[in-house]
Amino acid sequence: MDTGHGTTITKTESRGRPHDADFTEYVAARQGQMLRFAYLLTGQRAEAEDLLQTAFAKLYLAWGKVDVESSRDAYVRTILVRENASTWRRLWRRREQSVGELTDGSAVDAGFVSSPHESFVDRSLMWQCVCALPPKQRAAVVLRYYEDLSEKATAEILGVSVGTVKSSCSAALRALRTSITASEGGPR
């Protein structure tokens, strides 16, 4: 079967053994981008790696059913979003944080230098506010404004309607605006 992505997958490969080489190739090619996505969902690098390991593991388990690379990307994003939103994971994340694992503030502290002259809002403050969004709202804005996915594609990953995507993004932007305005006295 020609996947349209330059590789030919035989029936045996698509329904049978996933070929670790293919999986390795996929992970090598997509880990970087997916890890960025996971980081934007979690705000913690360690948590992002843990989340992505789970998503890749589930992709590995479903390898024969997810044939083409674009579908694999969507599959991994879906797992990342839904796993990150799981109640269970959030409960345990609170536990981990309660015993001393700090939220990764490196971006704010070192790597991310707010430059008021380049933006009409304090971007470090905005990132903090993004991190405070509920998981599903946060996923919606990351998919729409970072991954640049359509509302339809975003809805499919989130498992909601297009209308819900619109309302989630609107609510997220409203929350960001309210928080930043309250903290800063409005946009610069």
Partner 1 sequence: MNATENSDRQWEQALATVLREQAPMADGASSLVGPSIHRAGRIRRRRQLAVTAAGVVAVAAVATPIAMGAFGRNNAATQPGTSVSAPASGSVSASAPGSVSASVTGSAPATSAASSPTTLSIAALPTGAAPKVTWIEDQGRMAGNSGTSTIHFADGTTVQTPFWARRAAVFGTGVIAEDTPNGAQEGPQVVILDAKGKELDRFYGRGPVASADGSRVAVWRFVKAGDSKVQIFDAKTGSLTPLVDTTWNAEGGYGADPIGFVDADRVIVSPVTEGGTPVPMLVDMTGTLTPVPQLAWVAAVAPSVHQVVASTYNPASAVVYSFDGTPTMLWSTTGQTPEALSADGTLVVTSDPLVDTTGVRTLTVTKVATQQVVATFTVTSFAGVVFEDASHLVFEANDGTAGGLLRCSVDGTCELAVKGTVDTATASSGLRVTTTK
Judged by the rule CB under 8 A, the positions of this chain that interact with partner 1 are 15-18, 20, 23-24, 27-28, 31-32, 35-40, 45, 48-50, 52-54, 56-66, 75, 78-79, 82, 85-89, 91-92, 94-95, 98-99, 104, 106-107, 111-112, 119-121, 123, 126-127, 130, 141-142, 145-146, 173, 176-177, 187
Distance set, CA 139 to CA 26, 50, 112, 131, 153 (Å)? 23, 17, 21, 11, 12
**Measured distance CA(67)–CA(8) in Å, rounded:** 10
Choose between 54 and 167: whose C-beta lies nearer to partner 1.
Answer: 54
Q: How far is the CB of 24 from partner 1 (least distance, A)?
A: 5
**Measured distance CA(116)–CA(41) in Å, rounded:** 25
Choose between 14 and 162: whose C-beta lies nearer to partner 1.
Answer: 14
Q: How far is the CB of 172 from partner 1 (least distance, A)?
A: 8
Q: Is 8 left (phi over 0), alpha (psi -120 to 50) or beta?
A: beta
In the chain, what is the straight-line distance between the N-terminal and C-terminal CA atoms, in Å?
Answer: 55
Choose between 4 and 109: whose C-beta lies nearer to partner 1.
Answer: 109
Choose between 70 and 86: whose C-beta lies nearer to partner 1.
Answer: 86
**Measured distance CA(2)–CA(138) in Å, rounded:** 36
Contact between 159 and 127 (Cβ < 8 Å): no
Q: How far is the CB of 187 from partner 1 (least distance, A)?
A: 8
Q: How far is the CB of 25 from partner 1 (least distance, A)?
A: 9
